[in-house]
Amino acid sequence: MSFSRRSDEQKNTAEWQARFDEYLNAIENLQPSTGSSTDLIWEKCLSYGSAALVAPTGSRRERVLSRYVGLLNISNIEPEALPEWYSQVQGLLELVRSIYGDQESLLKVFAVSGNRTLALLAELHKLEKTSP
């Protein structure tokens, strides 16, 4: 899919929105092939990252980011997967900052996600912002 070359206005057609929604549903419905469930989570993270890159401003982008954060909001992650999990979180923050120039909305989602680690990360970013 080459959605990224279109402006938000061009993405406001029923056809584009239907195709984008199909893509999001395909991500949701991904099933593990031969890898572990952790591999499936990382695959979905990569796919949501791609979707966030092309999502138009507004509710569709917010829905993608919410689904991404929902996927990251896993309380029983295996300890050996924590570095990859953290890398995904940092990657999402960097993506949002570099593409959209705004981490604040994502940090607000982290803060209310129900995941203590994501909430603490949001607090850490607030502290960094207020530091001289």
CA–CA gap between residue 52 and residue 38 (Å, rounded): 21
Q: Is 55 left (phi over 0), alpha (psi -120 to 50) or beta?
A: beta
Contact 40, 71 (CB under 8 A): no
pTM: 0.73
Which residues touch 33 (CB under 8 Å, ≥6 apart)? Answer: none
Q: Amino acid identity, residue 48?
A: Y
Q: CA angle 28-30-36, nearest 5°?
A: 120
Tens place of pLDDT per residue across the chain (132 aa): 444 467 878 888 899 999 999 999 999 998 877 767 777 888 888 898 889 888 888 888 888 888 888 888 865 677 787 888 888 888 888 888 887 777 888 888 888 888 888 899 899 988 887 756
